[in-house]
Amino acid sequence: MGIPLAIEKKFGTVIRQWGMEYYYSGKIKNFSVHGNRVVARVQGKSLYEVDIVLSGISLGVYCECEYHKDHIYCKHIWAVLWRIYISKVFPTDKLMKILYVVECFDESHEDWDEYIDDDKSEIRIDNKSINQNDNNKSNSPLWKSLFSDNGVQLINDELEKQKYFFYYLRIDRATVNSITVDLVCRIAKSDGSWSEPFYEIVNNYKVSKYGDKRDQTILSILLGKNQQNGYLLPSEQLSKGPVSVLVPMMAETGRLYIVGPDGTESGPVNFDKTIYSLTAVLEKADSSRYQISCKIVNQDQIIDTSVAASMWIGGLIYINGAVAKLDCGESIGALFNLRRQGIIYIENEQISNFLSDYYSSAIRMPMIFPEELQIPEVSITPVPCLRFLKKDPFQKINYLIASVYFDYSGTLVDLNHKDTAVYNKKENKAYIINREFHRKSIVFIYQSGIVLLHNDYYDKPVAKITKKQFVPLVKKLLENGWRVEGEKGVFRKPGTLSVNIKSGEDWFDLKAAFAYDNTYVPLPKLLSAIKKGEQYVILDDGTLGLLPEEWLKKYGTLTSMGELQDDNIRFKRSQALLIDTLIADEREKIQSDEIFDRIRSELTSFVAIEPLEPSESMNGILRFYQKEGLGWLSFLERFGLGGCLADDMGLGKTVQVLAHLEKRRYFDNEKKKSEKQFGTSLVVAPRSLIFNWIKEAQKFTPLLKVLDFSGDTRTAENVDFSEYDLVLVTYGTLRRDITRLREFVFDYVILDEAQVIKNAKTITAKSACLLHSKNRLALSGTPVENHLGDLWSIFEFLNPGILGCSAAFSKVQKMVSSVNDNNCDLLRTMLKPFILRRTKSQVASDLPERTEEIVLCEMEPAQKKIYDELKKYYQANLIKKVEIQGLNKSKIMILEALLRLRQAACHPGLIDKKNTEITSVKLETLVSQIEELRDEGHKCIVFSQFTSMLALVKVRLDKTSITYEYLDGTTVDREKRVERFQKDPLCSVFLISLKAGGVGLNLTAAEYVFIFDPWWNPAVEAQAIDRTHRIGQKKPVFAYRMICKNTVEEKVLNLQSKKKKLAESIISNDQSLIRDINIDDLKLLFG
């Protein structure tokens, strides 16, 4: 911290340097301090006395040197001030409060005398002290008493009132943005004359003391502008704003003067209330060029700028001996620049470029144009544009960069554009920039989730757009009138879909294309683009076509079920409803031939089935829904399509098929041989159902010649299938004898319990597809047991290609499993004519009531200990492995863990034969229930998937002398065992392996069913229960699922409900979501 700025500013740089040299060279002599006063002598040419007095915020200075008399602030005073500062004579806080350095008057200021009252101290400014009331004489000058502690006032209020200020505008010191005004003070004498001018230290305290209110206002404004110093300097810089306000006020005082460039004074100057302005004038200079110059405008007059003596950017002009306002708006800088340059010439060939720059400039100067260059200014709504830019090569980024532009009839304006208009050379128009539209467009971009930030590489605001945002954003912008441009061209949104369908022998060709204005893109090209992960296609005209995202998302996967052929997609005739689904939104615009229209019409009108009566040759009476089944089978045959009869177990699927075959045989016998269509049909069924087909055929259609080719006859070489109406084989026979069976062309191939071929990769499924036949049927109460892949395998057998290739249908499966119910609707609509399903609750209301309950059992400590040990082991090992390796690579371990835990819940003996004697709570509960039912005369069935568990049950039943029957996959004489259970009143229990006896058995003698251990697939359990709850049952059926509490069995029930929804969502009207097992399901099971 040095000497206060208020003191330092009074001394020039050179003066301060000399003063410090005097100090450091030891030229200060006799330095003494007297309170607030310092007296010293400084050696110069002579020994000069220097007095410095501190009084409040003022510092009085005096020196005997000649320089001090003329300039006040000499090097001798600065040398003493520096000594005061270095020696800390005055406290630093007092020194820093100094605002004024007061100069002392000498005898040349003779005007001072008349302001001293006669009866008060006489003050003379000389080197002698005179005080007529003071008897104490002193050698020091009288004026020094002004700085004594008594506070004698140097200037009284009356004196201040007579001070007036003269204002000198210094044109010679004017700059581009400001002008200097000198503030000179004079005292008004009594004779009307003025004292010599002097500079006055003006502060807020003094302002109100001056006699002229106008001076008070002017000085107050200047003080307000100069708050940093707290006082006014003799010369003040006036910027643009204050000039326009203060100069007119100064002129009104009559004390405003102009100091010209040569230093001469003019004035006093008046203020002319006329408002002048500047304008540029463009005019023809000669035949080859134009000229532009600056002119003064006074109302309707155009005046040359040479008339004005001076102009200031602050908005004033000195003209005709007066100061007036000069109004040029924001363009005053450009006009002043033009005035300084004089005349500027513009060649004819450059005039368009000049006009373009003029109309696109941010601040346009006013200009008068010649008639031939007058251009209309037009207001339009520009086209907002989003342009994708090339990426910064120095940055690795995984997003797109785009900037915003606005198209004004071909002229692009970006966000950096600050001009008021753009000039269109071609149209010779100036388009006014629509700032409000720009603002709304940017708001729209922000509302779309895109943020614009300035980027140094592009030198403009740009947006970062992720690939996920790209398509929705471009689509939204195009829909709202934006133009979107990529590096390769302008984006276009897809329009309508045009479709043409032609029929072939057994196929339909779909030729579809999306319109992009006047350009059409074939659907296969769009599908190819989306398959490659592209988001647009390049159109023939070089523009970019945005993919029809919604349509492709909704139908794109379904198109993969067809075969791409150039610009067409070829579909099987059985896929007519798939085509109808694809064109659903554009149905009125398609062009199709008569064959397709007829087939589509019949298939889409498939709502209710027309029932048919059976032939007279059939024994028995069909129920109404079974007659509808006959009508549906006839419908499929007419179109040459395969179908799946998916009625609930026990509703007579076998009877309906036999009735259909008999009806065809009967009517064929009435025709000529050449017209006969009926031939040998093949039924493939599980072994347990072969005898049921034989029995049902003998009962209802005895005229059909049936061959059981699953027994000894299959080894006979001379068997002629054509001599029979119906050939029965097992799935095992199909696999072993496929070479022989595929050589014969059957009338019908019928798969009973068709879910057996749900896995298309098995030899059984492949063998079934190798069979030759005119018609195909599938029978299954549960065509979807686990996932939609079950359906694909069955329908690939029924109507090859109807669901596309396996890979294509896998995509459909994922779509249905993870999107929404709408996709499930599409698949159901497509398959509707090919699946006929009726539930017992819909068509067999006369069946007795069926009650299903859960029996919760709580394990004994010994059994629970074994179970808990297993659970802890798998918790510690399995979940971590799945999280690391994933579900697919951990399937074997998952299945093993589930198997072991379920076995432990059934009986500890299934884990280790040593544990056979440990009590199983479920076994004890089961035996207790069986004993009670036997005593009451009821029969029951016990299902378990573990034959080893059934063996343990047998041991217990033998001990309690309960008669039972047994059936598993190794049982040969199934029919005898079923017949014994049905008819022998002493045989009260039937132990059946779930897989072996869950289908094809008619066990209506039993009223009670026990599912000893639950399985993943609820459909398998439902089939098992339906062995008793079927047509022919007269008593209520009670089914019990035996579950060990707090085990994996209890948690399996929750997952079973999900599996049930899968089947219902496709083959019924339930549109529930379909989800596969995941890691959360596993944590639930093993938790």
Q: What is the pTM assigned to this prediction? A: 0.48
The CB density around residue 414, as the number of other CB atoms within 10 Å, is 15
Angle at 1041 between CA 1037 and CA 1045, to 5 degrees: 150
Q: What is the pLDDT of residues 347-365, one digit of tens each?
A: 988 888 888 778 767 677 8
pLDDT of 126 over the 50 cut: no
- In words, the CATH class of domain 850-1085 is alpha beta
- Enter the tokens of residue 130: 């005179």
pLDDT of 1022 over the 80 cut: no
Whether the CB-CB separation of 755 and 708 falls below 8 Å is answered with no
Mean pLDDT of 864-877: 87
Q: What is the pLDDT of residue 114?
A: 33
Q: What is the pLDDT of residues 734-751, one digit of tens each?
A: 999 999 999 999 999 999
Beta strands 726-730 and 270-286: pairing type? unpaired
Nearest-angstrom CA–CA distance, 78 and 67: 13
The distance from CA 969 to its chain's CA centroid, rounded to whole angstroms, is 58
Please give the residue that has the higher pLDDT: either 970 or 562: 970
Confidence of residue 345 (pLDDT cuts 50, 70, 90): very high
Q: What is the pLDDT of residues 647-671, one digit of tens each?
A: 876 788 999 999 999 998 888 776 5
Whether the CB-CB separation of 434 and 453 falls below 8 Å is answered with no
Closest CA to 946 of 894, 898, 980, 989: 898
Q: What is the pLDDT of residue 684?
A: 95
Confidence of residue 606 (pLDDT cuts 50, 70, 90): low
pLDDT of 286 over the 80 cut: yes
Determine the 3-state secondary structure of 393 from DSSP. coil
Question: Comparing 624-843 with 850-1085, is the CATH topology the same?
Answer: yes
The H or E element containing residue 677 is: none
Nearest-angstrom CA–CA distance, 99 and 1044: 99
Whether the CB-CB separation of 728 and 734 falls below 8 Å is answered with no
Could you identify the residue written with the tokens 């080893």?
Answer: 948
Nearest-angstrom CA–CA distance, 336 and 955: 118
Nearest-angstrom CA–CA distance, 739 and 726: 19
Please give the residue that has the higher pLDDT: either 74 or 500: 74
The CB density around residue 746, as the number of other CB atoms within 10 Å, is 23
Q: What is the pLDDT of residue 825?
A: 65
**DSSP assignment string, 524-542:** HHHHHHHHTT-SEEE-TTS
Nearest-angstrom CA–CA distance, 164 and 185: 6
Q: What is the pLDDT of residue 815?
A: 58
Q: What is the pLDDT of residues 173-208, one digit of tens each?
A: 666 567 788 888 888 888 888 888 777 777 777 788
Q: What is the pLDDT of residue 125?
A: 25
DSSP state of 316: E
Least confident of 534-538, 612-616, 738-742: 534-538
Q: What is the pLDDT of residues 1045-1057, one digit of tens each?
A: 888 888 777 665 5
CATH T-level assignment (fold) for domain 624-843: Rossmann fold (3.40.50)
Whether the CB-CB separation of 746 and 734 falls below 8 Å is answered with no
Q: Estimate the share of the chain in helix, then strand, then coil, as percent rounded to the nearest 5.
A: 40, 25, 35
Whether the CB-CB separation of 653 and 637 falls below 8 Å is answered with no
Burial of 930 (0-12, 13-18, 19+ CB in 10 A): buried
Nearest-angstrom CA–CA distance, 660 and 726: 12
Determine the 3-state secondary structure of 1037 from DSSP. strand
pLDDT of 821 over the 80 cut: no
Q: Letter for the amino acid at 415?
A: L
Q: What is the pLDDT of residue 587?
A: 58
The average confidence (pLDDT) of the chain is 78
Nearest-angstrom CA–CA distance, 571 and 504: 10
pLDDT of 682 over the 90 cut: yes
Nearest-angstrom CA–CA distance, 289 and 343: 12
- What share of the chain has pLDDT > 70, as a percent? 79
With the C-alpha atoms ordered 554, 560, 561, 562, is the resulting torsion angle positive or negative? positive
Please give the residue that has the higher pLDDT: either 787 or 358: 358
The CB density around residue 848, as the number of other CB atoms within 10 Å, is 12
Closest CA to 335 of 277, 378, 287: 277
Q: What is the pLDDT of residue 897?
A: 84
Q: What is the pLDDT of residue 1075?
A: 32
Confidence of residue 796 (pLDDT cuts 50, 70, 90): confident
The distance from CA 360 to its chain's CA centroid, rounded to whole angstroms, is 37
Whether the CB-CB separation of 793 and 757 falls below 8 Å is answered with yes
Confidence of residue 394 (pLDDT cuts 50, 70, 90): low
Q: Where are the domains of the chain?
A: 5-154, 158-268, 271-373, 377-487, 497-604, 624-843, 850-1085
